[in-house]
């Protein structure tokens, strides 16, 4: 084993050996640490590489073991692909391509299950009628909840790119609310006539929008239509065996399947 070398990759430190870094001489790392390409140093004297520090662990582990080991819930294939392209380790490029084919096959057959709930809630708020004159008002508000499970992580990502919460004057993707790669719970309200915009923020009330159509979802019927549109564009179809037809038509349960 050669002497240890500490690398600073995007601010994250890794310690390895020269022999590991040069195990593939034709790669970017092989060229950098054989002297073919000059390297930069940080303030501590560590070799500095201005790339993603978190992803580098998978690159380094491949240099050590010649195996591409990723966690089951790995969600950054696009970023890993870009980093692999940069380092130009040919066996790693091939291993990543094989992994992507494997994941693609696993994703082809999928199930999507959505259970829906709706209730009416009274919301109380103040209305400014004139400077320093306020009145107390109330109105009924429709509150929606959707519990979504899919065996396809990629479909939930697709759904997250289409549905956005509107809160505090901003739109934010529902992707940030994923409980895990396969589960998503959405809670939102319909717009309430006369409710001031600041009251939605004060009472933590989110509304749901479809992007890029800029359509607000104020009913379950619209939600079901939009989800079906997105799912069917991704190859899903309605599972005729489940749920019961009356449940589906009453917007209680949606189950779709995809076979490829």
Domains of the chain: 4-88 (3.30.710.10), 110-259 (no CATH)
Q: With beta carbons less than 8 A apart as the criterion, state whether 222 and 200 touch.
A: no
Q: What pLDDT was estimated at residue 212?
A: 83
Query: What is this structure's pTM?
Result: 0.58
3-state secondary structure at position 223 = helix
17, 19, 20, 24: CA torsion to nearest 10: 150
Q: What pLDDT was estimated at residue 42?
A: 92
Q: What pLDDT was estimated at residue 246?
A: 53
Q: What pLDDT was estimated at residue 17?
A: 94
Alpha carbons 222 and 229: distance in angstroms, whole number: 11
Q: What pLDDT was estimated at residue 107?
A: 65
48, 49, 53, 56: CA torsion to nearest 10: -120
Q: What pLDDT was estimated at residue 1?
A: 55
DSSP character string of 161-193: HHEEEEETTEEEEGGGGEEETTEEEEEEE---T
Mean pLDDT in runs of 10 for the chain (260 residues)?
86 95 94 90 94 96 94 84 93 90 74 92 78 78 94 87 91 83 91 86 92 90 92 86 55 81
Cα angle value 156/161/162 (rounded, 5°):
100
3-state secondary structure at position 62 = helix
Q: Read off φ and ψ for residue 230, nearest 5 degrees.
A: -70, -45
Q: What pLDDT was estimated at residue 193?
A: 84
List the helix and strand counts (H, then E) for the chain: 9, 14
């Amino acid at each position: 084993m050669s002497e240890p070398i500490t690398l600073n990759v995007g601010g994250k430190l890794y310690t390895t050996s020269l022999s590991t870094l040069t195990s593939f001489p034709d790669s970017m790392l092989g060229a950098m640490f054989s002297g073919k390409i000059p390297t930069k140093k940080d303030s501590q004297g560590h070799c500095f590489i201005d790339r993603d520090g978190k992803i580098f662990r998978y690159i380094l582990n491949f240099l050590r073991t010649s195996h591409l080991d990723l966690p089951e819930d790995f969600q950054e294939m696009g970023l890993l692909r870009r980093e692999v392209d940069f380092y130009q380790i040919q066996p790693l490029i091939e291993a990543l391509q094989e992994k992507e084919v494997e994941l693609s096959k696993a994703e082809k057959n999928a199930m999507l299950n959505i259970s829906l709930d709706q209730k009416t809630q009274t919301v109380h708020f103040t209305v400014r009628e004139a400077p320093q004159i306020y009145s107390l008002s109330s109105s009924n508000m429709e509150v929606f909840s959707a519990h979504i499970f899919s065996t396809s992580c990629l479909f939930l990502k697709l759904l997250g790119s289409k549905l956005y919460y509107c809160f505090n004057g901003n739109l934010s993707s529902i992707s940030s609310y994923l409980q895990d790669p396969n589960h998503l719970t959405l809670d939102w309200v319909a717009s309430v006539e006369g409710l001031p915009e600041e009251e939605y923020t004060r009472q933590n009330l989110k509304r749901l929008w479809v992007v890029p159509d800029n359509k607000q979802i104020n009913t379950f019927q619209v939600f079901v239509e939009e989800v079906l549109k997105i799912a069917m564009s991704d190859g899903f179809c309605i599972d005729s065996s489940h749920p019961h037809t009356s449940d589906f038509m009453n917007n209680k349960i949606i189950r779709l399947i995809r076979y490829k």
